[in-house]
Amino acid sequence: MVYYRGPGLFSGKLVIPIHNARGELVAYGARALDGSTPRYRFPPGFAKSQVLFNFHRAAATGKRVVVVEGFFDCFHLHQAGVRSVVALMGSALYEPQQYQLLARFPRVIVMLDGDAAGRRATADIVARLRPLCSVEVIDLASQVQPDQMSTEQIRHVLRACRDRGRAGGARQI
């Protein structure tokens, strides 16, 4: 990740490399830091619907994955010790992304933002994945995002999710 000062589409933005499932660099995403819109930019022709951010790293870990919305949610969970985490780069799970998840992970934990868009997307994702794999949900408080949580809060909600799963009481919408 780097702050880009040069000219063009990503000028004055934080630039984040995006890799495909094989670990090949396929694009860069950019995030505005000054509050300008759009907050996120992608190069023309890049189909974010085809890629799960951090999938190539998450796929090298266990049999479960945590799904979050954005780059910074993914970074923050990784820093908290969650190695198997992917980001949708938005609040929708597209069919190619769903295929990637199902081909690699028998257990999916959905941890989207605690806003209206995150709740709608969570319900949609769970409805689509539940017949195909084990799905658990971590409901965040209203307006809370994973990247706003402390490391201890992240570990706590993931432990609680794991314990519910072991007890057969995993939260499902």
* Number of structural domains found in the chain: 2
User: Which residue from 148, 166, 143 is spatially nearest to 64, judged by alpha carbons?
Assistant: 166
Same domain as 105, residue 65: yes
DSSP 59: T
Beta bridge partners of 13: 4, 32
- pLDDT value of position 172: 37
Same domain as 142, residue 153: yes
- Is 66 within 8 Å of 54 (Cβ atoms)? no
Same domain as 63, residue 16: no
Residue whose entry in the numeric block shows the structure tokens 């992917």: 86
- pLDDT value of position 154: 95
- pLDDT value of position 173: 31
Q: Which mean pLDDT values do the consecutive 10-residue runs of the chain (173 residues) have? A: 92 96 96 91 96 97 95 96 96 97 97 96 97 95 94 93 65 38
